[in-house]
Each structure stands twice: as structure tokens, then as C-alpha cells.
């Protein structure tokens, strides 16, 4: 019996190591039929067939490609002047200094970790579908990752698999994510409108959450405009066709806190290495590795800019979950939660029993 257990454990170790090496190979090696393009703005993208990929694993919509090419900003769809400026965390949705109106007031876009996006690129409840090419184990893995995100943050998901993709009577198409089993891991950034894609070849929770967080609005941590203060990028250890994956995003950004070495959005020190030497190092020369869990700042972004809405298709009242996180990842009290729901419905707040004013 002991021999069987030992053999089983050895098999598990082998499978895990093989899976890790497979992930590294597929994610970081050069893809077939690719071309590196330098756009008019100077931004670099990778053309894979008829798709355009930015910063390693960000699929660009046509509008995002146009904005990136013209302005160097994936969210500059309109007049560039409307997409300038750095915004502060108090513009977050949950802080309610600008409650629902903040979605209209935030005409600027932000990039890098932690980010907020312009009007229309955040989700309310994330509608998603599973493609038919996913098997049961892959679907279960995605569901586990979403459950972890729901437990630790304010984001909520709605499974619309098999449901209509729009409402013809109203002339609208729903915004939703479709998960595919693919030969690469990538995602679109923010809510781009209509159907958007998350491709997965690695079905561990870390990778799935990483790609979902792109769809929620997070860029890579190493893309921060101030990253050179915290890390060195050793491009000599990166093939020339992969160096664009280490470009910085320097326009219209919001960061919460210092560089986050614990972020699930951070590449490890050996990403895209061609010689086994580190491509990313701390300023003291030390290396860092993959993070498999959400950091406090990863959570803080989602908890700042998302509200845990509950589905209420037959009612007009806006409902939210009992568990609501603040921007600092602490839970709202019941009174704070109730007043948040009341404010979302345009109702006056409740004062507490001690005569203290309600949450502003």
C-alpha cells in the first residue's frame, strides 16, 4: 500500500512539473505565423493570423488596435484629449463619492496595475459562456477560479451558456465572455462590447484568474510606467521578437500602491528567457517567481471598481450581495452595505442607532 501511495505521489509531481514546463513553452515561445508590427504611435504588437496581441497575452479589438495605433492608448477611441489625466482611487465605484454617475464622469482611461477604464469598459455582472470545445474538467477548473474571485472580491459572474446573446426586441447585444480551450492563454482587456474571448491552454486557477483579471481591466504589473524604479528588464536575455512583451504603458494610468511583487499579474523572472538567465530582476539582482494567488492590491483594484450585484431579472430594484468589500479589502458592515444598496436605488440612507451620519 505504501508503495502505491509513493508511486501516486511521484506521478503527481511528474504531472505538475510537466504541466509547468508545458505552460512555459506554450506561453513564452514564439508562435507560428506571427509578425511583430510597429504601429504609427510607436507601440508594438504581435500579429498572429488575423489577431493582434499586445504585451504578450492581450487580444486587441479593432477599436483598441486603432486607438493604440493612433494614440498609443488602447482606450483612446475618440478625441485623445478626453483620455488624458491621472485619476485617484476615490473615483472608484464602491467608494461612492461618485456612485453610479462615476461611470459617466470617468471619461479618462487608466492603464497598468491597478487600473480603471473609461465608461463602458467595466462590467456590472460578468456574463459568460462556455464553448462546446471545453470538457467537464476544464469547465470545473474555470468555475473554481471564478468562485475564488467571487469569494475574495466584489466581482460577480453570470453563466449565460445556452442563453440568447442579445435582445432583438430592444435591438441590443449582450456583452459577454466566451471561454475556449486553445493552444495559448490570452484575453481581451476590459469589456470591449459584444462577445469577447478568453483562450486557455493552462487550466490552473492562477492562469485562469490572470486572464479573467485582464478582462476586468488589469494590465501586467511589469507594464507599469514606474516599473524601472523597482525592477530591471534584462532585454539581452530576451529574443528580439519577444522584447515588445516588456513594453511599458505610459499614458492615462492609475496605480494603487507601489510595485506589487505579489501580484498575480506579474511575469516571473524567467519569462521569455532564451538562455536560462533572468529577464526580470529586482534592483538588488534577486529574482522572483509566479504568484498563484491574488495579492492584496489585486483584490483592492476589483473591490474599488466593482460592486457585487445580484441578478434580479424580474424586478426593477438593484440588489447587491450581503458580502461587500471596501477598497481596503475589509468587509462593509451591514449598515454600510444596506446604505450602499439604498444609494444605488436612489433612496435616502439609514442613520445608525447612535445618531451617526451614514456612509457618504
Q: Give catalytic residues, as residue numbers.
A: 211
CA distance 202 to 27: 9
* Contact predicate 44/37, CB 8 Å: yes
Ligand-binding annotation for 31, yes or no, is: no
Closest CA to 233 of 216, 217, 241, 245: 245
CA distance 329 to 299: 7
Ligand-binding annotation for 244, yes or no, is: no
Measured in degrees and rounded to the nearest 5, phi and psi for residue 227 equal -60, -30
CA distance 326 to 318: 19
Q: What is the largest CA-CA distance in the chain?
A: 70
Measured in degrees and rounded to the nearest 5, phi and psi for residue 186 equal -160, 170
Is residue 314 helix, strand or coil?
coil
CA distance 215 to 192: 9
Binding positions are 210, 214, 220
Binding positions for Zn(2+) are 210, 214, 220
Amino acid at each position: 500500500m505504501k508503495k502505491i501511495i509513493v508511486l501516486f505521489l511521484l506521478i503527481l509531481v511528474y504531472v505538475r512539473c510537466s504541466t509547468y514546463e508545458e505552460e512555459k513553452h506554450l506561453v513564452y515561445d514564439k508562435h507560428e505565423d506571427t509578425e511583430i508590427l510597429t504601429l504609427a504611435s510607436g507601440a508594438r504588437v504581435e500579429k498572429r493570423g488575423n489577431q493582434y496581441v499586445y504585451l504578450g497575452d492581450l487580444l486587441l479589438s479593432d477599436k483598441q488596435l486603432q486607438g493604440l495605433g493612433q494614440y498609443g492608448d488602447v482606450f483612446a477611441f475618440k478625441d485623445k484629449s478626453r483620455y488624458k489625466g491621472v485619476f485617484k482611487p476615490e473615483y472608484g465605484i464602491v467608494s461612492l463619492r461618485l456612485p453610479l454617475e462615476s461611470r459617466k464622469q470617468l471619461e479618462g482611461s487608466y492603464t497598468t496595475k491597478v487600473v480603471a477604464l473609461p465608461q463602458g469598459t467595466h462590467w456590472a455582472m460578468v456574463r459568460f459562456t462556455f464553448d462546446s470545445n471545453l470538457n467537464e474538467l476544464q469547465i470545473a477548473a474555470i468555475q473554481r477560479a471564478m468562485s475564488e474571485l467571487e469569494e475574495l472580491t466584489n466581482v460577480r459572474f453570470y453563466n449565460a451558456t445556452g442563453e440568447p446573446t442579445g435582445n432583438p426586441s430592444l435591438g441590443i447585444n449582450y456583452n459577454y465572455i466566451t471561454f475556449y480551450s486553445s493552444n495559448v492563454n490570452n484575453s481581451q482587456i476590459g469589456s470591449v462590447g459584444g462577445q469577447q474571448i478568453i483562450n486557455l491552454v493552462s487550466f490552473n486557477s492562477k492562469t485562469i484568474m490572470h486572464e479573467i483579471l485582464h478582462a476586468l481591466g488589469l494590465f501586467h504589473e511589469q507594464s507599469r510606467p514606474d516599473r524601472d524604479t523597482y525592477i530591471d528588464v534584462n532585454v539581452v536575455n530576451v529574443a528580439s521578437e519577444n522584447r515588445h512583451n516588456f513594453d511599458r504603458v505610459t499614458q492615462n494610468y492609475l496605480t494603487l500602491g507601489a510595485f506589487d511583487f505579489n501580484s498575480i499579474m506579474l511575469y516571473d523572472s524567467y519569462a521569455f528567457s532564451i538562455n536560462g538567465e533572468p529577464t526580470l530582476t529586482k534592483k538588488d539582482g534577486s529574482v522572483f517567481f509566479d504568484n498563484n494567488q491574488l495579492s492584496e492590491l489585486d483584490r483592492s483594484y476589483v473591490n474599488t471598481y466593482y460592486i457585487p450585484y445580484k441578478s434580479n431579472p424580474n424586478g426593477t430594484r438593484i440588489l447587491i450581495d450581503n458580502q461587500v468589500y471596501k477598497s481596503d479589502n475589509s468587509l462593509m458592515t451591514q449598515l454600510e452595505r444596506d446604505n450602499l444598496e439604498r444609494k444605488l436605488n436612489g433612496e435616502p440612507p439609514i442613520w445608525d442607532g447612535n445618531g451617526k451620519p451614514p456612509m457618504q
